[in-house]
Amino acid sequence: MNIFRLAGDMTHLFSVLVLLLKIYATKSCSGISLKTQELYALVFLTRYLDLLTVFVSIYNSVMKVVFISSSIAIVWCMRAHPLVRRTYDKELDTFRHYMLVGGSFLLALFFHDEFTVREVLWAFSIYLEAVAILPQLVLLQRSRNVDNLTGQYVFFLGAYRALYILNWIYRYFTEKYYSRWISWIAGIVQTALYIDFFYYYFISWKNNEKLKLPE
């Protein structure tokens, strides 16, 4: 495992921890898109179907369990926790996320490496992850003022995918490793969606101001 892969994994894990900290410490999910969290739960559940059948390493298995369980826990809190759910910005979180699910599934049916249930669902999870952040970004743009923990969560979530692209580039030059073309395309699209957010995040950080997104 190279430094870019490890940094990507840790950044992804840190983004989840930041979100859990926000929810459990403040008993609030204000500024967080439930629809994005439901999409991520679906991503992990369909991608890690091999958890009980394929063993790569203890590290690999633990990370899979962490991402599945944390995504389900976040969705549960936002839907069922009596204190957290009343802070959910339902009026702002109106993105039609089922369109992302349907579009990703259609892409997976036509563009995959092998026409098997496992491979189609894997491709589906890759396509869906690329666009799962859209409801969150739309919600933040509508609310404009972004609290620090929410801003950090989105930033580290975007940084994780950028680091994974660096990991693929590094492995190509050092190991002649070729990542699947589906992962490359989805990874580039996913990272591109964060560019506008990254810009305003760094501006606010540079000026030591609260993050504000344009209308």
Per residue in 28-73, pLDDT (tens digit) is 999 999 999 999 999 999 999 988 888 889 999 999 999 999 999 9
Most confident of 11-25, 143-157, 190-204: 11-25
Residue 161 is predicted with a pLDDT of 87
Is residue 213, in this structure, part of any structural domain at all?
no
Q: Note whether 107 and 157 are within 8 A (CB).
A: no
Task: Please give the distance of CA 44 from its chain centroid, rounded to a whole number.
Answer: 10
Is residue 211, in this structure, part of any structural domain at all?
no
- Residues 114-128 as b or e (16 or more Cβ within 10 Å = b): eeeeeebbbbbbbbb
Residue 215 is predicted with a pLDDT of 66
Task: Give the pair of three-digit tokens for residue 111.
Answer: 């563009």
Torsion of CA 67, 201, 185, 7, to 10 degrees: -50
Per cent of the chain over pLDDT 70 is 98
Burial of 104 (0-12, 13-18, 19+ CB in 10 A): buried
Q: Please list the helix, strand and coil fractions of the chain in percent, rounded to the nearest 5, in that order.
A: 75, 0, 25
- If one counts the domains in the chain, the total is 1
Residue 29 is predicted with a pLDDT of 94
Is residue 212, in this structure, part of any structural domain at all?
no
Residue 12 is predicted with a pLDDT of 95
Residue 203 is predicted with a pLDDT of 85
What is the DSSP-derived secondary structure letter of residue 27?
S
Query: Which single residue is written with the structure tokens 């969150």?
Result: 136
Residue 178 is predicted with a pLDDT of 67
Task: Please give the distance of CA 203 from its chain centroid, rounded to a whole number.
Answer: 23
Cα 188 to Cα 141: distance, rounded to the nearest angstrom: 22
Q: Could you read off the pLDDT of 95-112 as tens digits, one per residue?
A: 999 999 999 999 999 998
CA distances from 54 to 49, 58, 104, 124 (A): 9, 11, 25, 19
Is residue 54, in this structure, part of any structural domain at all?
yes
Is residue 131, in this structure, part of any structural domain at all?
yes
Cα 121 to Cα 169: distance, rounded to the nearest angstrom: 25
Cα 132 to Cα 12: distance, rounded to the nearest angstrom: 14
pTM: 0.92
Is residue 26, in this structure, part of any structural domain at all?
yes
109-134: average pLDDT? 94
Is residue 214, in this structure, part of any structural domain at all?
no
Q: Could you read off the pLDDT of 155-188 as tens digits, one per residue?
A: 999 999 889 889 888 887 887 766 678 888 898 8
What is the DSSP-derived secondary structure letter of residue 111?
S
Q: Could you read off the pLDDT of 61-89 as tens digits, one per residue?
A: 999 999 999 999 999 999 999 999 999 99
Is residue 64, in this structure, part of any structural domain at all?
yes
Task: Please give the distance of CA 184 from its chain centroid, rounded to a whole number.
Answer: 16
Q: Average per-residue pLDDT in the chain?
A: 91
Residue 114 is predicted with a pLDDT of 87
Torsion of CA 152, 198, 68, 62, to 10 degrees: -80
- Which domain range does residue 34 map to? 3-86+94-206
